[in-house]
Structure 1
């Protein structure tokens, strides 16, 4: 797939000219800048990506008359003098390499898409990067938010390239407001607006006000005198404009700006090339052994947009030094979804605008004995869409680990209150081996000894953790593989024809019986020893940080059933009328920090098990990768355990940024977008690769209806599973995990996946984009954003498969 990202060449300086409105003089300023840069550089290029109107009136034609050393060009010229989105509906557009060029080529309206415009612009600029010093001025059409041919805004069309911006302000009546609005629109989208310039029109004096306004925001602003009035003679008019351009280009305001622009270009490169070395001195990175860290192992990220980072590495710097035509920045697919948070693409303008609005409306407000609309709406959305009738109350924290701390507090306190246990009793949790629920001290105690916790002096490990069968694809077949020590209790490895068959609980009655016997017997033995369980805590379906382990959903379902129907655990349970909404046995806590909110293809990951948890924690995709926020949603019965006349019985837990309005607002927008995608069939193309139309495969058991599917194709999984170095592979929702064989039999401590990670980041010579990924020992994993296209995933599959050769 063709991927166009941010570009930065060492010797080609590119400047994008935006206008605060139509008719503000973009082309005049472009002409002035071209003339000014011409005095310093032998090559000056003027480029108009999209233009409308007759060719004889085109801006590139005007620029080409200034000097033979200024190379002017338009990529897409529409004959109709209307907005590009209207002009693109007709077939009268012409793409030409030079005015009146014999290579002029006609296109149909369907050929002019955002992708085609970006690709054409990228290719044209790349052709200018010859290794010699040069300047390219890219002029947009209309205002900042004027429509592109697709109908979207220009600001969004060109954002992936993230070129430095020269904003032409509006000198006319009302121009102060339009100029500031244009700057804010660009600023909030992540552009670097290096300067604002406008005509020094004396009647309104906009230039004086805007110069002071932008100075307070560290944005350079200047003005030039307006162009002369038009002459009746075309020849006199042309001569007057030539004199005007020469005078303006030589003015101190313009020469100061051009010098600043060149300095900013060099500084951006210097900062990019030094940031990794400076990080070694100043930064303590998470999840990294620093004896292995150097400036060469730290990836500098200049920006991000959509699925991609704009990255700079030592290898890229070396390649550019050897070949100055190579951009210092390379798009790198964010294969870890930025630690599993990314759902709607980096730099998403809707989320950015939502965050800005909430920051402007609220900033932050304390949440003690208060409420604001974003927090209420988010709570109601979660309660309505989780499909779990038990849940009734939402508690807010600011990250997943804190949210799970709260969940465990809720569960253990509720169990202690019902069972009459005191603070002196040793109350533990029941969980699964390989679990991870966060790095705060309480959540660390909810996991068995592991690389994450066993060297922490305060860690005690308060729980019992069951091993479990795992779902894998091996040599093209789906298997459910029990750990060796459980084979006698739960049976041997079973083979299945499809992933759907693994989720068809009704057809797996024998497996259910053996699992249930094992869970019942294990619980009975532990209870007989006097173990007091405060809660069952587990990650539904997929255990993430522990090594991307796909738990057999039927085993997790059986464990919940065993807990809820164990008579020894239910001695204090009161008979209930109507639907079972109270917890029995022990509270069931589902950690959906990673797996929830469509990451696995469904709003609720617990629904795969056909169970209704008593407490559910959500984060990660909650805010689409923009801000930290977590919700812990509990049943009424759990809530009631904290209600009394004594304040010390309350859940005395909170954060300064509890339910912060900006995060809640972004979460509302993120969830609304994903739910709309779900209802609108956005993922139907992916689902079709797993469950073709007319398929007789049965629906998943319980919970939300639907089949198991992934954004990664089953055909790709089968091909990967046959690779000699691959032990197993699986995919579900947006997640792909490949377990590589380790010669020493190591798992999390293994380095078997490092080579694959590094190979994908380095890429092959000439590749337009690479893959940035993380590993978990011998597991290389990737996940798409929920907005990633099938075309992109197919390209990823090709690169991943090649890396396994």
Structure 2
């Protein structure tokens, strides 16, 4: 940090305990110190009761602490009753309260409360200090402690709260992860301290891009000029395009000259910065309150999907999203509260909201979009089969799988010991169930298809029918359908818009059914939910059917965003990240604890329960079924009160994570869901 040597010389003799409001917690973090509780990653609360900013630096030694002190000083001087809070989450270099002491020396200390959360003695980057001193710190604990500290200090920081980072925007935290990524769940408005030195223009704009790429609001840039370079003027035009205000401060006096006179000379500039922060904060809070109060009017203007507006009782105000969580506005407490995105943003969220790797891929190619060709759609006609469905069960105290076929044969009940058995074609292809399925499908085709008629295709959602009510179809039934249609020369199409790309714990439906389609359609998770994109895959013999010298023989169909580069960049990034899940085993990847799901399924409130890949489903006992049923709404309201944003398909509650969500996070969410469902 700039003038670090000056601060050490000038203030090292002052006793920490003698300073009112000077606090320090967490400095003695030990390797064996377990967290007091487990946290859902990225799910943190942020109070908006008073203005709060996070000070980032374009590099180390650019003056973050000097700017933080000037800002806190302006806030203390703004009125006779003002109070200010300052938090330093990470500190290295022996003197854990060095920066806090510097602030106290330049203003009325009685109205300033400082807190350092974690510190290390070694004067290096936090990730190196943590390794050298063997005092590790996870990012989840750091962010949660910072959220807790903000809530704790807010009553004594009614005028302003300042959170100062360590090093530059992309300097690592104790875990090694970039600090701009670590603090992103809080999404505090950022004051970027630019670099006034030679080369500082590029460093400042690169740091700004890094913050904007991750979804931060950066309304202000502050530079301490060096050697009459006037870097502030050089970045002013670009900053103005982004509605960013630039504040230029003159060069600091040479060391060891005290800074009291310099600060007095800059009171007007820091006062203007404080005023801009206060105005920004008030406008932000007013806007959130206005959206919350006007939500009923908005229902008349916007037509939301899958919503009966007349019965809709409320609108959730979402400020932002990150990871698996929304930041929702609570008008009663004027705070942003976390809510788990348990419906995976209508099945599209696959990488975690705000994923910087995907955002960078999109930004890299966003300038080269080219759209061409629009064609009309068509009206499909179909013969619909009634599939046998699967649920988890506990027979004689032993966990297993039950298959029923109520629409065709109410007496049909099949018990299997595990999902391994359910998805094993070698042990099931010659069973009585396979024979029953073959007879049903054959009769269905013979009855509905006239002689010499042509059946266009078999279209199916592999294993899990999403929009139909989250029906877990016996994979043997669909495998049998495919084999019969193949014998009759009927093309097979897998609709994997919902089910594909690890949604069901496998890359594709073919990995679960052990048969290959002629055509597959993918979307939703294809870009991780970042932008809309779909992909249609076809076997070579399908392609060859349209491969001709005549243009009329081609498949002249497409849409205006076919192969758009933004979507393709996002998809390539998403697919690369999904590859980290490794090779597919014989059965789907497990995210939700099967024992807990089966236990909830034994409740009299539940008629069907199962987990499959990223999805867990509970069908509630209800007088009605389908989209018109409303029996799940009370449970949905309870879940949202408990911080879980879930949705229902009629009387079916489903919870969904992303393919990259950890099993520990799923366990914590499932425990909350089980508590609500079981009452």
TM-score (norm 1): 0.75
Which residue of structure 2 aligns with residue 190 of structure 1? 215
Distance 1:8 1:739, change over 3 A: same
Q: Aligned equivalents of 2:49 and 2:628: distance in 1?
A: 44
Which residue of structure 2 aligns with residue 589 of structure 1? 493
Q: Is contact 2:386–2:407 with CA below 8 Å preserved after alignment?
A: no
Is 1:82 the counterpart of 2:124 in the alignment?
Answer: yes
Q: Is contact 1:53–1:79 with CA below 8 Å preserved after alignment?
A: yes
Which of 300, 306, 311 aligns to 2:328? It is 311
1:89 counterpart SS class: helix
Which of 565, 577, 585 aligns to 1:661? It is 565
Aligned residues: 627
Q: What is the deviation of 1:200?
A: 3.6
Which residue of structure 1 aligns with residue 16 of structure 2? none
C-alpha RMSD of matched pairs (Å):
2.1
Q: Is contact 2:96–2:119 with CA below 8 Å preserved after alignment?
A: no
Q: What is the deviation of 1:780?
A: 0.4
Written as runs of structure 1 = structure 2, the 5 A alignment for 1:779-794 is: 779-794=652-667
Q: Is contact 2:85–2:154 with CA below 8 Å preserved after alignment?
A: no
Written as runs of structure 1 = structure 2, the 5 A alignment for 1:47-446 is: 47-55=87-95, 58-66=98-106, 67-68=108-109, 69-91=111-133, 108-110=134-136, 112-130=137-155, 133-201=158-226, 203-231=228-256, 237=257, 240-248=258-266, 250-251=267-268, 253-276=269-292, 277=294, 279-293=298-312, 297-312=314-329, 316-318=330-332, 320=333, 328-360=335-367, 363-366=368-371, 442=378, 445-446=379-380
Which residue of structure 1 aligns with residue 530 of structure 2? 626
Q: Aligned equivalents of 2:658 and 2:554: distance in 1?
A: 39
Which residue of structure 2 aligns with residue 99 of structure 1? none
* Deviations 1:404-431 (CA, angstroms, capped at 9, x unpaired): xxxxxxxxxxxxxxxxxxxxxxxxxxxx
Q: Is contact 1:201–1:226 with CA below 8 Å preserved after alignment?
A: yes
Which of 480, 495, 498 aligns to 2:418? It is 498
Q: Aligned equivalents of 1:43 and 1:90: distance in 2?
A: 38
Q: What is the deviation of 1:65?
A: 2.1
Q: Aligned equivalents of 1:87 and 1:219: distance in 2?
A: 35
Written as runs of structure 1 = structure 2, the 5 A alignment for 1:389-538 is: 442=378, 445-446=379-380, 462-474=381-393, 477-487=400-410, 492-508=412-428, 509-528=431-450, 531-538=453-460
Q: Aligned equivalents of 1:134 and 1:6: distance in 2?
A: 22
Is 1:712 the counterpart of 2:581 in the alignment?
Answer: no
Q: Aligned equivalents of 1:730 and 1:57: distance in 2?
A: 53
Distance 1:478 1:20, change over 3 A: same
Q: Aligned equivalents of 1:513 and 1:784: distance in 2?
A: 36
Q: Aligned equivalents of 2:665 and 2:499: distance in 1?
A: 22
Q: Aligned equivalents of 1:170 and 1:134: distance in 2?
A: 28
Q: Aligned equivalents of 2:98 and 2:568: distance in 1?
A: 47
* Deviations 1:575-622 (CA, angstroms, capped at 9, x unpaired): xxxxxxxxxx21100001111111111111122111110000011111
Q: Aligned equivalents of 2:160 and 2:555: distance in 1?
A: 62
Q: Aligned equivalents of 2:595 and 2:409: distance in 1?
A: 31
Which residue of structure 2 aligns with residue 610 of structure 1? 514
Is 1:42 the counterpart of 2:89 in the alignment?
Answer: no
Q: Aligned equivalents of 1:562 and 1:724: distance in 2?
A: 39
Q: Is contact 1:710–1:735 with CA below 8 Å preserved after alignment?
A: no
Distance 1:706 1:225, change over 3 A: same
Q: Aligned equivalents of 1:477 and 1:85: distance in 2?
A: 46
Q: Aligned equivalents of 1:639 and 1:477: distance in 2?
A: 43
Distance 1:57 1:561, change over 3 A: closer
Q: Is contact 1:547–1:776 with CA below 8 Å preserved after alignment?
A: yes
Q: What is the deviation of 1:514?
A: 1.7
Structure 1 unaligned regions, length at least 5: 92-107, 232-236, 321-326, 369-396, 403-439, 447-461, 567-584, 680-703, 764-769
Q: Is contact 1:188–1:353 with CA below 8 Å preserved after alignment?
A: yes
* Deviations 1:2-41 (CA, angstroms, capped at 9, x unpaired): 2454644343321110111111111111110010011235
Q: Is contact 2:197–2:227 with CA below 8 Å preserved after alignment?
A: no
Is 1:759 the counterpart of 2:654 in the alignment?
Answer: no
Q: Is contact 2:351–2:660 with CA below 8 Å preserved after alignment?
A: yes
Q: Is contact 1:31–1:245 with CA below 8 Å preserved after alignment?
A: no
Q: Aligned equivalents of 1:463 and 1:791: distance in 2?
A: 42
Written as runs of structure 1 = structure 2, the 5 A alignment for 1:542-553 is: 542-553=464-475
Which of 590, 604, 609 aligns to 1:729? It is 609
Q: What is the deviation of 1:648?
A: 2.3
Q: Aligned equivalents of 1:788 and 1:542: distance in 2?
A: 20
Q: Aligned equivalents of 2:178 and 2:644: distance in 1?
A: 28
Q: What is the deviation of 1:493?
A: 1.1
Distance 1:178 1:654, change over 3 A: same
Q: Is contact 1:6–1:162 with CA below 8 Å preserved after alignment?
A: no
Q: Is contact 1:11–1:131 with CA below 8 Å preserved after alignment?
A: no
Q: What is the deviation of 1:529?
A: 5.6
Is 1:750 the counterpart of 2:629 in the alignment?
Answer: yes
* Deviations 1:548-586 (CA, angstroms, capped at 9, x unpaired): 0011111111111111223xxxxxxxxxxxxxxxxxx21
Q: Aligned equivalents of 2:300 and 2:619: distance in 1?
A: 34
Q: Aligned equivalents of 1:275 and 1:648: distance in 2?
A: 52
Q: Is contact 1:11–1:134 with CA below 8 Å preserved after alignment?
A: no
Which residue of structure 1 aligns with residue 67 of structure 2? 29
Q: What is the deviation of 1:203?
A: 2.2
Which residue of structure 2 aligns with residue 674 of structure 1? 578
* Deviations 1:666-695 (CA, angstroms, capped at 9, x unpaired): 11111111112224xxxxxxxxxxxxxxxx
Q: Aligned equivalents of 1:709 and 1:7: distance in 2?
A: 31
1:55 counterpart SS class: coil
Q: Aligned equivalents of 1:542 and 1:304: distance in 2?
A: 27
Q: Aligned equivalents of 1:209 and 1:709: distance in 2?
A: 53
Which residue of structure 1 aligns with residue 21 of structure 2? none
Q: What is the deviation of 1:224?
A: 1.7
Q: Is contact 1:114–1:157 with CA below 8 Å preserved after alignment?
A: yes
